[in-house]
Amino acid sequence: MGRIIAAGHLNWDVTLRVTALPDPDGEAQITEQHRAGGGSAANVASALAGFGLAAGLIGSVGTDQHGRMATRELRTQGVDTDSVVTVEGETTVKYIVVDEAGEVMVLANDGVNEAIGPEAVEPAMVEGADHVHLTGQRPDTAAALIEVANAAGLTVSFDPGRRIEQRAFEPLLDQVDVLLLNEREATAVFPAASGPPIERAASPDRVIVVKRGADGASVYTGDETHHHPGFAVEAVDTTGAGDAFAAGFLAATVGGESFGRPGSGAEPDYERALAVANGSGALTVQAAGARSAPSRVALAAFLAERTV
């Protein structure tokens, strides 16, 4: 079974369900509140652990109660938090406002979720891992993690997230084995998200995955393009759906043969990987909160019902 280390943000999330996202100077009624750990890297690690895989996290929290609760929750879920550092300051808190259609608005404080700089990255952080998954974080820290992973002979995936246009990630995008983007992010990086430019940018050494929301997802390998249409479900909350997708994709490609991955030395089954990833995302949007990724049993049952 492959061990996967996720690196990036670990937050405390306060999810507020409202009747509608308010206009400027407007007001909306809160119908439900939910508090739990969040942050893309932590969400991926939590989902992987829920699939029964060995998962670890590299991240940072503050010395406050939110940091203690977020770290304790991950340990309870089976995530290795030995590389989560506690630093003086406040844990990043995100207020996620979700309307009745599942659309999301996010408010956040600065917090300390980027306290790990490149000087703090050590080979021991990835010891015993088979793969490192990077999420939105300091570009210099991401670069150091890629260097450490390459030196250890590990594969690397990168899901830079919604701030890709605001951060200096560009030099890193061709240094990873798998690049995961949503359609908006893909359009920002490549002139046409589904046309020849992205196909030319992909190669067997850098697979590009484009998440298309309700329209499924695509994988570009340079030689081939694979597409899965996704699953029609009623969305309750889209928070964390992209992280659940990433966890599903990693589980199916590097998570071990017991999760449907081909045997050692075989090419990944990207058709299967997209189905698993889309299934994970589809189940996640049907429940509230960023940590609503399905269990391995629930995901398997969902896919079996749809004869994948």
All structural domains of the chain, each given as residue ranges with its CATH number in brackets, are 3-305 (3.40.1190.20)
pTM given for the model: 0.89
What's the Cα-to-Cα distance from 14 to each of 38, 54, 97, 135, 280, rounded to whole Å? 9, 27, 9, 20, 22
Which tokens is 172 given? 């890193």
As a whole number of angstroms, the distance between CA 77 and CA 133 comes to: 18
SS3 state of residue 17: strand
Question: Which residue type does 120 have?
Answer: A
Angle in degrees, CA 151, 117, 75, rounded to 5: 85
Find the length of the chain: 308
Angle in degrees, CA 263, 243, 219, rounded to 5: 55
**What is the residue-level pLDDT of the chain in tens, covering all 308 positions?**
579 999 999 999 898 889 998 888 888 899 988 888 889 999 999 999 999 999 999 999 999 999 999 999 999 999 999 999 999 999 999 898 888 877 788 888 888 989 999 999 999 999 889 999 999 899 999 999 999 999 999 999 999 987 777 788 888 988 999 999 988 888 888 766 555 577 777 788 889 999 998 899 999 998 889 999 999 888 877 778 899 999 999 999 987 655 555 555 567 899 999 999 999 999 998 887 667 788 889 999 999 998 65
SS3 state of residue 81: strand
Nearest CA among 108, 97, 107, 106 for reference residue 32: 97
Nearest CA among 82, 178, 174, 180 for reference residue 128: 82
> Do residues 127 and 145 touch, judged by C-beta distance below 8 A?
no
Nearest CA among 208, 10, 24 for reference residue 105: 24
* pLDDT given at position 168: 80
The set of catalytic residues is: 243
* pLDDT given at position 265: 55
